[in-house]
Structure 1
Amino acid sequence: MAICRAAAACKNQTLYQRVAELSGKPTDKFVLPVPAFNVINGGSHAGNGLPVQEFMILPVGASSFREAIQIGAEVYHNLKKVIQEKYGQDATNVGDEGGFAPNVLESDEALQVLMTAIEKSGHAAKVKLGTDVAASEFYDAKEKKYDLYWKDKDKKGQKLMSTAELAEYFKGWTEKYPMVSIEDPFDQDDWDGYKPFTAAIGDKVQVVGDDLLVTNPKRIGKAVEDGD
Structure 2
Amino acid sequence: MTLIEDIVLRKILDSRGNATVEVEVYTLNGYGRAAAPAGKSTGKHEVKAYPAGGIDAGIKYFKERMDNLIGMDSTQQEDVDAILHEIDGTENFSMLGGNVATAVSLAIAKAAANSLGLPFYQYLGGAFARSIPKPVGNVLGGGKHAVGGTTIQEMLAVSLGESAKDNVFANAEVHKIVGKKLRERFPNISLGLGDEKAWIAPMDDIEAIELVVESVKEASESTGVNIKPALDFAASSFFHNGKYHYRSRALTPEEQIDFVEDIVKDYGVYIIEDPFDEEDFESFAELTRRIGHLAYIVGDDIFVTNVERIKIGISKGAANTVLIKPNQIGTLTDTVKAIKFAKENGYATMISHRSGETCDTTIVHIGVAFGVEFIKTGAIGGERIAKLNEMIRIEEEIKGE
Report the TM-score when normalising by structure 1. Answer: 0.83
Bigger relative contact order, structure 1 or 2, given CA contacts below 8 A and separation 6+?
Answer: 2
* Percentage of identical aligned residues: 27
1:112 aligns with 2:210: yes
The residue aligned with 1:45 is: 145
C-alpha distance 135-14 of structure 1, shift in aligned 2 (>3 A): same
Unaligned stretches of 5+ residues in structure 1: 22-26, 150-154
- Equivalent residue runs for 1:1-228 within 5 Å: 2-3=75-76, 5=109, 8=113, 12-21=117-126, 27-28=127-128, 30-60=130-160, 62-104=161-203, 106-121=204-219, 122-123=222-223, 126-140=226-240, 142=241, 144-149=242-247, 155=248, 159-228=249-318
Shift of 1:28: 5.0
CA contact (8 A) 1:51 1:107 kept: yes
Q: Distance in 2 between matches of 1:101 and 1:181?
A: 21
Q: Which has the higher strand share?
A: 2
- Structure 1 distance, partners of 2:308, 2:129, is 35
How much does 1:120 deviate?
3.5
Q: Give the secondary-structure state (helix, strand or coil) at the position aligned to 1:200.
A: helix
SS at match of 2:270: strand
Asked if structure 2 preserves the Cα contact closer than 8 Å seen for 1:44 and 1:53, the reply is: yes
Q: Distance in 2 between matches of 1:44 and 1:176?
A: 26
Residues 212, 219 of structure 1: 8 Å contact kept: yes
* Code of the aligned partner of 1:93: G
Worse-superposed segment, 111-120 or 45-54: 111-120
Deviation at 1:10? 7.0
Query: In structure 2, what is the Cα distance between the partners aligned to 1:197 and 1:129?
Result: 18
Change (3 A) 1:177 1:125: farther
Shift of the alpha carbon at 1:118? 2.7
* Contact 2:232/2:273 (8 A) holds in 1: yes
Q: Give the residue type in structure 1 aligned to 2:308.
A: K
Deviation at 1:11, TM superposition (A): 5.9
Please tell me whether the aligned partners of residues 58 and 127 of structure 1 are also in contact (alpha carbons under 8 angstroms).
yes
Change (3 A) 1:49 1:98: closer
* C-alpha contact 1:45 1:95 (8 A) present in aligned 2: yes
Residues 171-202 of structure 1: CA deviation (Å, up to 9, x unaligned)? 11111223111111000111221111111111
Residue type matched to 2:125 in 1? A
Deviation of 1:223 (Å): 1.4
DSSP 3-state at the match of 1:114: helix
Number of residue equivalences: 211
Unaligned runs of 5+ in 2: 1-73, 78-108, 319-401
- Alpha carbon RMSD of aligned pairs, Å? 2.2
Q: Which amino acid aligns with 1:109?
A: E
Q: Structure 1: which 4+ aligned runs deviate by more than 4 Å?
A: 4-12
